[in-house]
Amino acid sequence: MTSFAELGLDAVLSQAVAAKGYDTPTPIQTQAIPPILEGRDLLGGSQTGTGKTAAFTLPMLQRLARGRRVSRAPRALVLAPTRELAAQVGESVATYGKGLDLGSAVIFGGVGIHPQIDRLRRGLDILVATPGRLLDHAGQGTVDLSKIEILVLDEADRMLDMGFIHDIRRVLKLLPSRRQNLLFSATYSPEIKALADGILRDPALVEVARRNTAAETVAQLVHPVAKSDKRALLSQLIREGDWHQVLVFTRTKHGANRLAEQLGKDGIPSAAIHGNKSQSARTRALADFKANAIRVLVATDVASRGIDIRLLPHVVNFELPNVPEDYVHRIGRTGRAGEEGCACSLVSADERGLLRDIERLLKREIPVAKIPGFDMKEADGREDARDTSRGSRARSGGRSGGGRDQSRKPRGSSENRNPRGPRRPRRAVR
């Protein structure tokens, strides 16, 4: 089997990967690392949880280490849509680049800007940022992007979904025309193709799985249930299954707060994470969840791209997402790096249309497992989660704000704006 050294990585980077417990490259890493090392532009797509972050971080570190810093300005820029994902990428850069003489920083909203300014002034090689906060720094003249040699757009589909296309275009105008461009997206849409066509030059194309699919290592189930009984069923599943680390998705921020509080009253330690939480609260909740200090983390889709727990066993869709592609990213939090995982969805009668949309995207039906004492009879007396006698429920144009990350808080900021038009397809890694 291919090793990281055989892909052309230096010994120090191969050792850093081995120290993390990885000895064999994933398919996305095997295909992406060589052309990136050659300096080619790249358009990469793969299922979530397949090692994509390392696929661009490792060759980026090597190219920068072999180059020469001529100023204190950053030489590589990684744009990420959410705070959590930016922090995750920054952690990977710091971990894999520990043995290299390279400096890095992560900047996003929701925290003070002055410590970030101080870090930028000291000089660095790699900057990981969310678009809005990066433009804040650019507007204040505290960051120089004229020396960027490598640009990475991570989760490009998610950035477009969140309305960042105008911010991305503004950032591009601040970069030198000669640079290496790497664009990663879990899902492809006409908008993504247009963005790629406008940025990439003769790119290497890497796609390791059929687009918009879930990992085969994730076992998927649908549990039909009345909307009013969802919380009781969830508590029962957690207690009777002795689940100790469960990521639960809701559609709204208010719903996440309410469910976490209700589970706590059921004796199940829980916390909520979403865009209205302060960055310190989000960081603390995620740290407690990873450390098993709480059993359940209730999240909106802000977390579907930024949580990387290698052995996360259970993901629960308390409510199905309005956009089918979000389902793929949600359940992609489990079954990562080849490990097995379980994803179950609690589906009420009014969500039948959403379920059909998801199955249409997956090109398969999700097995239905009825739990004794629970059904979805509140709608029309039927218990089948896949009742097709009704017309498909039209997607509402008013999508909950709970599914969007906002990497900074002030109203009217570019990272708080609503997406323009309906959301389109989307993806993340270690």
Range of weakest confidence among 6-20, 139-153, 317-331: 317-331
Helices (H), 332-427: 352-362
Residues 21-55: tens digit of each pLDDT: 888 898 899 999 999 999 999 999 876 667 889 99
Of 156-165, 185-194, 232-241, the one with minimum mean pLDDT is: 185-194
Say if residue 161's pLDDT is above 60: yes
**What's the topology of domain 218-390?**
Rossmann fold (3.40.50)
Among the ranges given (67-81, 198-212, 276-290, 403-417), the one the predictor scored with the smallest mean pLDDT: 403-417
Give residue 319's pLDDT.
96
Delimit the CATH 3.40.50.300 region(s) of the chain: 5-207, 218-390
Contacts with 356 (C-beta within 8 Å, 6 or more apart), sequence order: 386, 388, 392
What pLDDT score does 330 carry? 86
* DSSP states along 24-45: S--HHHHHHHHHHHTT--EEEE
Cβ-Cβ contacts under 8 Å for 18 (sequence gap 6 or more): 4
How high is the pLDDT of residue 84? 84
The Cβ of residue 306 has, within 10 Å, a number of other Cβ atoms equal to 25
Whole-number pLDDT of residue 336 = 66
Residue 348, classed as helix, strand or coil, is coil
Q: Predicted confidence band at 385 (pLDDT cuts at 50, 70, 90)?
A: low
- Beta-carbon contacts of residue 399 (< 8 Å; ≥ 6 apart): 322, 323, 423
- Is the pLDDT at 420 greater than 90? The verdict is no
Average pLDDT for 287-305: 85
Asked if residue 430 has pLDDT above 70, the reply is no
pLDDT for residue 189 is more than 80 = no
pLDDT at position 261: 95
Mean pLDDT over residues 161-166, rounded?
Answer: 86
What integer pLDDT is reported at residue 369 of this predicted model?
Answer: 93
Over 50: is that where the pLDDT of 396 sits? no
According to the model, what pLDDT value does residue 217 have?
74
pLDDT reading at 361 higher than 90: no
The amino acid sitting at 328 is V
Which segment of 197-206, 249-258, 334-343, 387-396 scores lowest on mean pLDDT?
A: 387-396
Q: What is the mean pLDDT of residues 236-243?
A: 94
Q: What is the C-alpha separation between 430 and 351, in angstroms, rounded?
A: 32
- The residue-averaged pLDDT of 74-102 equals 93
For the segment 371-400, the average pLDDT, to the nearest whole number, is 51
422: pLDDT strictly greater than 90: no
pLDDT in tens, 174-187: 999 999 999 998 77
Model confidence at 190, pLDDT cuts 50, 70, 90, reads confident
> Tell me: the pLDDT tens digits for 98-149?
999 999 999 999 889 999 999 999 999 999 999 999 999 999 999 999 999 9
What average pLDDT is seen over the chain?
84
3-state DSSP assignment of residue 272: strand
* Whole-number percent of the chain with pLDDT over 70: 82
Choose the CATH number for 5-207 among 3.40.50.300, 3.40.50.11540, 3.40.30.10, 3.40.50.720. Answer: 3.40.50.300
Task: Phi first, then psi: give them for residue 304, nearest 5 degrees.
Answer: -70, -15
Query: What does the pLDDT average to over 320-344?
Result: 82
How much is the pLDDT for 159? 87
| Contacts of 187 by beta carbon, 8 Å cutoff, 6+ apart | 45, 157, 211, 212, 325, 328, 424, 425, 426, 427
Query: Residues near 177 by Cβ (< 8 Å), separated by ≥ 6?
Result: none
Question: Does residue 286 have a pLDDT over 80?
Answer: yes
Lowest mean pLDDT, pick from 115-124, 209-218, 382-391? 382-391
Look up residue 21 and give its DSSP letter: T
Q: What is the pLDDT of residue 386?
A: 53
